[in-house]
Amino acid sequence: MLDDLHQDYLRTMDIDIWVRRELIVEHVAPEMPVRSSPPPVAVKPQVKPVIQPATPTPTKPVQVDHIGWDELRQEVAKCTACPLHQSRTQTVFGVGNPNADILLIGEAPGADEDRKGEPFVGRAGQLLNKMLYAIQLQREDIFIANILKCRPPDNRNPTAEEKLCCTPFLKRQIALIQPKVIIALGRVAATFLLDNDKAMGALRNQSRKQTLSYADTGVRVLATYHPAYLLRSNLQKRKAWEDLQLIKQIITEQGL
Ligand code: URA
């Protein structure tokens, strides 16, 4: 049998674990005592609740251009600029070192992140931790944020309206952190940061070959595959590994 750590690794990478049939101990349910049926209960006719149409929320980006870190965190927590505030459990501001040289940007919180209030804590997050570990980085060394601060229902892609409302927060985070390198995880982050609508493969190649900068700031953007995508696509894991090595090289060269 595989040890726990090995099994955990395979599970995280979404690789099926095969176990010989004779090693599986069948679980036999204990016999339940037979109960006499309860006396009939009078059933009240159901009154259907009247569902009121949802009041449309005005969508308006918030002005945060000149505020500091703590105020920005508060603005995010109370934001109602787009309809996502109605379905969130909590906002997900970001985590890590606000003075970090390396900023990592994902797409949007998923169910686990919405519950915990922290980015990348689900299965994709576990893989991300391993990717960082592979280049001697930990979450505390960098800052991790998302394009959206609220979870889109059913993990769908963010809409243009949601991005419009939420990206002022991210722009302010970037301005305050002043990172030296930004790593875009997946196409949603890469297209926003590079202001370019190309496919992920093209953005990745371009950002490896040329020094692409975020909004003419001179801050280098590297685009790589999103860990959630890597969990589904084994083929791209080799390319993600090449990206990690390039990130490591830049960190070493720049003494970050
Ligand atoms: N995917 C993302 O892009 N961000 C998270 O925080 C979690 C999953």
Q: Measuring CA to CA, which residue among 147, 153, 170, 172 is closest to residue 66?
A: 172
Does the beta carbon of 91 sit less than 6 angstroms from any atom of ligand 1? no
Q: Measuring CA to CA, which residue among 251, 227, 25 is closest to residue 112?
A: 227
Q: What is the pLDDT along the chain (256 residues), one digit of tens a residue?
A: 444 544 554 454 444 455 544 444 444 344 444 455 555 556 555 665 555 555 555 567 889 999 999 999 999 999 999 999 999 999 999 999 999 999 999 999 999 999 999 999 999 999 999 999 999 999 999 999 999 999 999 989 999 999 999 999 999 999 999 999 999 999 999 999 999 999 999 999 999 999 999 999 999 999 999 999 999 999 999 999 999 999 999 999 999 9
Residue 23 pLDDT: 45
Does the beta carbon of 158 sit less than 6 angstroms from any atom of ligand 1? no
Q: What is the whole-number distance in angstroms between the Cα of residue 18 and the centre of ligand 1?
A: 29
- Looking up tokens 């909004």 gives 215
Cα separation, 118 vs 140, whole angstroms: 13
Rounded to the nearest 10°, the torsion over CA 202, 205, 208, 213 is: -10
Are 116 and 142 in contact by the 8 Å Cβ rule? The answer is: no
Closest atom of ligand 1 to 189 CA is 3
pTM over cut 0.75: yes
Q: What is the whole-number distance in angstroms between the Cα of residue 109 and the centre of ligand 1?
A: 5
Q: What is the whole-number distance in angstroms between the Cα of residue 68 and the centre of ligand 1?
A: 24
Backbone phi, psi, residue 49, to 5°: -70, 145
Cα separation, 42 vs 32, whole angstroms: 27
DSSP symbol at 155: G
- Is the sign of the CA dihedral 109, 111, 114, 116 positive or negative? negative
Closest atom of ligand 1 to 106 CA is 3
Rounded to the nearest 10°, the torsion over CA 135, 140, 144, 149 is: 160
Closest atom of ligand 1 to 124 CA is 8
First to last CA, the chain: 42
Candidates 120, 126, 156, 231: which one to mutate for ligand 1, based on the most atoms within 8 Å of Cβ?
Answer: 120
Residues found in the chain: 256
Does the beta carbon of 94 sit less than 6 angstroms from any atom of ligand 1? no
Are 71 and 116 in contact by the 8 Å Cβ rule? The answer is: no
Closest atom of ligand 1 to 144 CA is 6
- From edge to edge, which strands make up the β-sheet containing 95-96? 95-96, 143-146, 102-106, 181-185, 220-224
Residues in a beta bridge with 213? 220
Candidates 146, 170, 185, 231: which one to mutate for ligand 1, based on the most atoms within 8 Å of Cβ?
Answer: 146
Cα 96 to Cα 140, 144, 145, 177, 224, distances in angstroms: 5, 6, 9, 11, 20
What is the gyration radius of the CA atoms in the chain, in angstroms? 23
Are 220 and 182 in contact by the 8 Å Cβ rule? The answer is: yes
**Cα 200 versus chain centre, distance:** 17
Residue 61 pLDDT: 82
Q: What is the whole-number distance in angstroms between the Cα of residue 114 and the centre of ligand 1?
A: 10
Residue 43 pLDDT: 57
Does the beta carbon of 93 sit less than 6 angstroms from any atom of ligand 1? no
